[in-house]
Structure 1
Amino acid sequence: MAAIEVKGLRKVYRLGSEKVVALDRIDLEIEKGEVCCILGTSGSGKSTLLNMMAGLEKPTKGTIDIEGHRISAMNEAELARFRQKNVGFVFQSYNLIAALNALENVMMPLMFRRVPKGDREEMAMDILTKVGLEKYIAHKPNQMSGGQQQRVGIARAFVGSPDIIFADEPTGNLDTKTSESVMEIMLGMARQNEQTLVIVTHDPEVAAFADKVVHIRDGNVESIEIMRGEVKEYVHA
Structure 2
Amino acid sequence: MSDLIEIKNLRKVYRMGNERVVALDNISLGIKKGECCCILGTSGSGKSTLLNMIAGLEKPTKGQIKIKGSRIEKMNEKQVTKFRQKNVGFVFQSYNLLPNLTALENVAMPMIFGGVPKKKREKEAKRMLTAVGLGDRLHHKPSQMSGGQQQRVSIARAFVGTPEIVFADEPTGNLDTKTTMEVMELITNIAKENNQTLIIVTHDVETSVYANRVIHVRDGLIESIDSIDKNEIESKQEA
Q: Shorter-normalised TM-score: what interval?
A: over 0.9
1:136 paired with 2:137, answer yes
Shift of residue 227, structure 1, vs aligned partner: 2.5
**Partner letter of residue 89 of structure 2?**
G
Aligned length in residues:
232
Give, in angstroms, the shift of residue 211 of structure 1: 0.1
C-alpha distance in 2 between matches for 1:175 and 1:227: 24
In structure 1, give the amino acid aligned to 2:91. Answer: V
Q: Distance in 1 between matches of 2:215 and 2:127?
A: 33
The CA RMSD measured in Å over matched residues stands at 1.1
* Residues 209, 228 of structure 2: 8 Å contact kept: no
The equivalent residue for 1:147 is 148
For 2:80, the equivalent position in structure 1 comes to 79
SS of the residue 1:136 aligns to: coil
SS in 2 for 1:209: coil
Query: Any unmatched runs of 5+ in structure 1?
Result: 233-237
Aligned residue number for residue 205 of structure 1: 206
Deviations 1:143-199 (A, max 9, x none): 100000000000000000000000000000000000000001101100000000000
- Structure 2, unmatched stretches of 5+, are 234-239
SS in 1 for 2:228: strand
The offset of 1:230, in angstroms, is: 4.4
> What does residue 235 of structure 1 align with?
none
- Aligned residue for 1:38? 39
Match of residue 111 from structure 2? 110
Instruction: Give the Cα separation in 2 of the matches to 1:3 and 1:25.
Output: 20
Correspondence for 1:47:
48
For residues 231 and 83 of structure 1, what CA distance do their matches in structure 2 show? 32
Percent identity, please: 64
SS of residue matched to 1:170: coil
Matches within 5 A, 1:1-237: 1-230=2-231
Counterpart code for 1:213: V
Return the TM-score normalized by structure 1. 0.96
Question: CA shift at 1:67, angstroms?
Answer: 1.4
Taking structure 1 as reference, are residues 231 and 141 closer, same or farther at Cα in structure 2, changes over 3 Å only? closer
SS in 2 for 1:64: strand
SS at match of 1:135: coil
Aligned partners of 2:212 and 2:230 also within 8 Å:
no
Aligned 8 A contact 2:46 2:218 in 1 = yes
Moved over 6 A (4+): none
**TM-score normalized by structure 2?**
0.95
